[in-house]
């Protein structure tokens, strides 16, 4: 009996294991097929409804939006606006992230400074920051600068908070182990605190990317003569729905691209998390 | 083994503030740890055993009394001791070899030198082939081995162990006991080993100190005169082991039962 069992067991299990891999592949294909289906059906319905059920004035149509995009590409107009919005977003993101990480670490490592500044930080952070846009436009003009400052301000607070919370969440036991090994303060910061906080910093940065883009676009909509926000505002002002939708589509592509880039860099930098239990 | 105390606790008490008032973790503790010995501290949970280790490490001050290391008040932190806690304190973003080599890295050893040293220890704890794995890729038992290698690799004068194998299953624990005793015999380090498992304490130690339930006090200190090297898999069945166990269990039983009745 026992012998029969030991022989028959692997034979019974082997096909099951193969099936699991095939099933996982199948599941992925099904998901992809559904996504493609939803996209195609959605676009087809939109195209059909436009002009038949609803006036194109309200909802435009995929083909008209495509034509508009092609037109903008040919004239080179699109690239100009994309460049401006991207520059504002990236500059705001980089300045905000760098200063947020710096101040977050400084306060995290200096408890007294953190205690002193606490009420000021809470006061500034509870302000709806978009409301500062008119002030920044007043101070820095309608050009690039006012949008960069707004995005920097918003990104700073998001990254700062996340970094600061990360320094508070560092496990004291890990710090103690290194202290007992004779580690200096600076060694502990470099080998324990910074790597622990890195995860939090990344979270803060990931959250803040879309906000940087929002700040750039909102700033452009308020006062500007370049950028995708301006393009949307200008198109809407001329009742040009095609233009509005086309600009929104470009924004969507940019936001998705930024998110993907950040996710990739996180995967590369936090390799130890991957097989995490 | 000399009789000069390496660590000396004199009249130690420690209280902690809690929501329900002051909790006395331990009081009236006088204890000497001799150089080169393997001392086990046994007692029910929450009797302040870990508190004593934290004091020897200079991470915690007693509320009353003093702790001496080599005759001088304990430094804060005491860099002459290595500490292996119950919880995992491996750095998750470092590979096995970089975790084992960290103390050597802090001392400024070159990368080749400290990796050679680390590889030697990784081999000794039976983890060859896992040098570049991350802690998250290892099982609980393997992570304990890495912790052990890390603590032993930089050869601290004294090693404090706080229920280091508490989370492992019974079989794996015996294997770890065997490895620990072999490694310890080769180094001559002073060991202070905290556990709530009397069998574990007698298997490993030269002396066993039994603590009462909270507030922790020393009930008895017994010398374990079982010959070394010990066969950790069979020593439990030695008649003399049984006698020692019976005698020490009587001290421990009162506190454990008392603990249950008090709640």
CB B96 within 8 A of CB B146: yes
Do A43 and A122 lie in one domain? The reply is: no
- B172 min Cα distance to partner chain A (Å): 20
Q: Is some CB atom of chain A closer than 8 A to the CB atom of B81?
A: yes
Do A161 and A255 lie in one domain? The reply is: yes
Which residues partner with B32 through β-bridges? B8
Does A79 fall in a domain? yes
- A175 min Cα distance to partner chain B (Å): 9
ipTM topping 0.85: yes
**Phi/psi of residue B210, each to 5°?**
-100, 130
Do A203 and A265 lie in one domain? The reply is: yes
Taking residues A139-163, report their average pLDDT. 94
Measure the CA dihedral A142/A143/A148/A150, to 10°.
Answer: 0
Do A41 and A69 lie in one domain? The reply is: no
pTM of the entire predicted model: 0.79
Chain pair A-B, CB pairs under 8 angstroms: 63
**Phi/psi of residue A41, each to 5°?**
-60, -45
Do A93 and A212 lie in one domain? The reply is: yes
Question: Quick one: three-class SS letters along chain A?
Answer: CHHHHHHHHHHHHHHHHHHHHHHHHHHHHHHHHHHHHHHHHHHHHHHHHECCCECHHHHCCHHHHHHHHHHHHHHCHHHHHHHHHHHHHHHHHHHHHHHHHHHHHHHHHCHHHHHHHHHHHHHHHHCCHHHHHHHHHHHHCCCHHHHHHHHHHHHHHHHHHHHHHHHHCCCHHHHHHHHHCCCCHHHHHHHHHHHHHHHHHHHHHHHHHHHHHHHHHHHHHHCCCCCHHHHHHHHHHCCCHHHHHHHHHHHHHHHHHHHHHHHHHHHHHCHHHCCCC
Amino acid B3: pLDDT: 59
Q: Is some CB atom of chain B closer than 8 A to the CB atom of A195?
A: yes
pLDDT digits (tens, 9 = 90+) for B237-246: 999 999 999 9
Nearest CA in chain B to A196: B93
Q: Is some CB atom of chain A closer than 8 A to the CB atom of B130?
A: no
Could you tell me the pLDDT band of residue B132, with boundaries at 50, 70 and 90?
very high
Query: Which structure tokens are listed for A121?
Result: 């930080």
Amino acid B172: pLDDT: 87
Does A74 fall in a domain? yes
What are the structural domains of chain B?
A: 38-50+78-210+220-262 (3.40.50.300)
Q: Are B79 and A182 within 8 A, CB to CB?
A: yes
- Measured CA to CA in angstroms, residue A8 lies from A15, A150, A178 at distances of 12, 69, 53
- A145 min Cα distance to partner chain B (Å): 39
Q: Is some CB atom of chain A closer than 8 A to the CB atom of B87?
A: yes
Long-range (24+ apart) CB contacts under 8 A made by A69-77 are A69/A246, A69/A249, A69/A250, A72/A246
What CA–CA distance (Å, rounded) separates B204 from B38?
A: 7
Higher pLDDT, A223 or B3: A223
Residues whose CB falls within 8 Å of the CB of residue B113, separated by 6 or more in sequence, listed in order: B104
Does A190 fall in a domain? yes
Amino acid B91: pLDDT: 94
Do A135 and A35 lie in one domain? The reply is: no
Q: Which of B87, B105, B137 sits opposite A173 (nearest CB)?
A: B87
Question: Quick one: three-class SS letters along chain B?
Answer: CCCCEEEEEEEEEEEEEECCEEEEEEEEEEEEEECCCEEEEECCCCCCHHHHHHHHCCCCCCCEEEEEECCEECCCCCCCEEEECCCCCCCCCCCHHHHHCHHHHHCCCCHHHHHHHHHHHHHHCCCCCCCCCCHHHCCHHHHHHHHHHHHHHCCCCEEEEECCCCCCCHHHHHHHHHHHHHHHHHHCCEEEEEECCHHHHHHHCCEEEEECCCCECEEEEEECCCCCCCCCCCHHHCHHHHHHHHHHHHHHHHHHHHHHHHC
Amino acid A274: pLDDT: 57
Does A187 fall in a domain? yes
Q: Are B106 and A181 within 8 A, CB to CB?
A: yes
Q: Is some CB atom of chain A closer than 8 A to the CB atom of B229?
A: no
Q: Is some CB atom of chain A closer than 8 A to the CB atom of B75?
A: no
Amino acid A15: pLDDT: 54
pLDDT digits (tens, 9 = 90+) for A78-104: 999 999 999 999 999 999 999 999 999
CATH code of the domain containing A197? 1.10.3720.10
CB B31 within 8 A of CB B176: no
Q: Are B134 and A272 within 8 A, CB to CB?
A: yes
pLDDT digits (tens, 9 = 90+) for A93-138: 999 999 999 999 999 999 899 999 989 988 988 889 888 999 999 9
Taking residues A198-216, report their average pLDDT. 91
Q: Is some CB atom of chain A closer than 8 A to the CB atom of B171?
A: no
Could you tell me the pLDDT band of residue B88, with boundaries at 50, 70 and 90?
confident
- Percent of chain B scored above 70 by pLDDT? 97
Amino acid B215: pLDDT: 83
Instruction: Calculate Rg over the CA atoms of chain A.
Output: 26
- Percent of chain A scored above 90 by pLDDT? 73
Amino acid B258: pLDDT: 62
Chain B hits for A272, Cβ within 8 Å: 92-94, 134, 136
Structural domain containing residue A21: 2-49
Does A35 fall in a domain? yes
Surface of A (10-39) touching B: CB under 8 A: none
Does A25 fall in a domain? yes
Taking residues B168-185, report their average pLDDT. 90
End-to-end Cα distance, chain B: 41
pLDDT digits (tens, 9 = 90+) for A215-269: 999 999 999 899 999 999 999 999 999 999 999 999 999 989 988 888 888 888 7
Chain A hits for B81, Cβ within 8 Å: 180
Do A178 and A250 lie in one domain? The reply is: yes
pLDDT digits (tens, 9 = 90+) for A19-37: 788 889 999 999 999 999 9
Taking residues A51-63, report their average pLDDT. 92
Angle of helix A228-237 relative to helix A77-109, nearest 10 degrees? 130
Residues whose CB falls within 8 Å of the CB of residue A223, separated by 6 or more in sequence, listed in order: A137, A142, A146
Do A92 and A179 lie in one domain? The reply is: yes
Which range (A63-72, B45-54, B242-251) has the least confidence?
A: B45-54
Amino acid A269: pLDDT: 78
Q: Are A275 and B136 within 8 A, CB to CB?
A: yes
Does A109 fall in a domain? yes
Encode burial over B40-71: b for 16+ CB neighbours within 10 A, e otherwise.
Answer: bbbbbebbbbbbbbbbbbbbbebeebebbbee
Nearest CA in chain B to A195: B93
Q: Answer yes or no: is pLDDT of A16 > 80.
A: no
Which residues partner with B7 through β-bridges? B33, B69
Do A140 and A12 lie in one domain? The reply is: no
Q: Answer yes or no: is pLDDT of A1 > 80.
A: no
* Interface with chain A: mutation pick from B50, B53, B77, highest number of A CBs within 10 Å: B77
CB A65 within 8 A of CB A243: no
* Interface with chain A: mutation pick from B74, B84, B91, highest number of A CBs within 10 Å: B91
Q: Is some CB atom of chain B closer than 8 A to the CB atom of A201?
A: no
Nearest CA in chain B to A197: B93
Task: Report how many domains make up chain A.
Answer: 2
Do A254 and A194 lie in one domain? The reply is: yes
Do A35 and A64 lie in one domain? The reply is: no
Amino acid B138: pLDDT: 93
Higher pLDDT, B79 or B44: B79
Higher pLDDT, B25 or B214: B25
Amino acid B259: pLDDT: 54
Q: Answer yes or no: is pLDDT of A9 > 50.
A: no
Taking residues B151-177, report their average pLDDT. 91
What CA–CA distance (Å, rounded) separates A215 from A133?
A: 8
Q: Answer yes or no: is pLDDT of A4 > 70.
A: no
CB A146 within 8 A of CB A218: no
Average confidence score pLDDT of chain A: 89
Cis peptide before A173 (omega within 30 of 0): no
Q: Which of B94, B102, B136 sits opposite A276 (nearest CB)?
A: B136
Do A16 and A139 lie in one domain? The reply is: no
Taking residues A39-50, report their average pLDDT. 95
Does A54 fall in a domain? no
Query: Which structure tokens are listed for B180?
Result: 């620990």
The residue with tokens 């007693």 is B62
């Amino acid at each position: 009996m026992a012998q029969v069992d030991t022989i028959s067991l692997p034979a019974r299990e082997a096909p099951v294991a193969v099936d699991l891999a095939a099933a996982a592949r199948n599941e992925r294909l099904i998901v992809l097929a559904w996504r493609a289906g939803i996209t195609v059906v959605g676009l087809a319905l939109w195209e059909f409804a436009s002009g038949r059920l609803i006036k194109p004035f309200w909802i435009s149509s995929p083909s008209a939006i495509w034509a508009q995009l092609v037109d903008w590409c040919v004239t080179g107009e699109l690239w100009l606006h994309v460049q401006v919005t991207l520059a504002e977003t990236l500059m705001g993101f980089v300045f905000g992230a760098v200063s947020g990480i710096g101040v977050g670490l400084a306060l995290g490592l200096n408890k007294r400074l953190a205690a002193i500044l606490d009420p000021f930080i809470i006061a500034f952070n509870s302000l709806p920051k978009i409301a500062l846009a008119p002030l920044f436009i007043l101070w820095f003009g309608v050009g690039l600068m006012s949008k960069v400052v707004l995005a920097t301000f918003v990104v700073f607070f998001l990254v700062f908070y996340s970094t600061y919370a990360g320094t508070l969440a560092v496990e004291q036991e890990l710090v103690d182990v290194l202290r007992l090994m004779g580690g200096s303060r600076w060694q502990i910061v470099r080998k324990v605190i910074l790597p622990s906080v890195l995860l939090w910093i990344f979270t803060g940065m990931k959250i803040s990317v879309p906000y940087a883009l929002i700040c750039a676009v909102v700033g452009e909509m308020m006062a500007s003569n370049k950028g995708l926000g301006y393009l949307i505002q200008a198109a809407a002002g001329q009742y040009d729905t095609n233009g509005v939708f086309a600009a929104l589509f470009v924004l969507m592509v940019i936001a998705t691209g930024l998110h993907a880039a950040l996710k990739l860099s996180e995967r590369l930098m936090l390799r130890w998390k991957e097989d995490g239990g | 083994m000399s009789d000069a105390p390496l660590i000396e606790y004199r009249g130690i008490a420690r209280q902690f503030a809690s929501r329900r008032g002051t909790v006395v973790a331990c009081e009236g503790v006088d204890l000497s740890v001799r150089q080169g010995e393997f001392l086990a501290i046994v007692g029910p949970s929450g009797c302040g055993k870990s508190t004593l280790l934290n004091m020897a490490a200079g991470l915690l001050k007693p509320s009353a009394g003093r702790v001496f290391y080599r005759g001088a008040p304990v430094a804060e932190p005491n860099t002459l001791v290595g500490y292996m806690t119950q919880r995992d304190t491996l750095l998750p973003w470092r590979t096995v070899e970089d975790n084992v080599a960290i103390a050597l890295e802090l001392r400024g050893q070159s990368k080749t030198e400290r990796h050679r040293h680390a590889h030697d220890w990784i081999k000794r704890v039976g983890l060859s082939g896992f040098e570049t794995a991350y802690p998250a890729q290892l099982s609980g038992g393997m992570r304990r081995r890495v912790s052990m290698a890390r603590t032993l690799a930089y050869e601290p004068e004294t090693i404090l162990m706080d229920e280091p194998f508490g989370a492992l299953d019974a079989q794996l624990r015996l294997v770890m006991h065997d490895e620990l005793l072999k490694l310890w015999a080769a180094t001559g380090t002073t060991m202070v080993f905290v556990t709530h498992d009397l069998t574990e304490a007698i298997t490993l130690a030269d002396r066993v100190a039994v603590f009462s339930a909270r507030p922790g006090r020393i009930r008895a200190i017994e010398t374990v005169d079982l010959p070394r090297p010990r066969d950790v898999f069979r020593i439990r069945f030695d008649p003399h082991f049984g006698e020692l166990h019976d005698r020490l269990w009587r001290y421990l039983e009162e506190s454990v039962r008392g603990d249950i009745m008090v709640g």
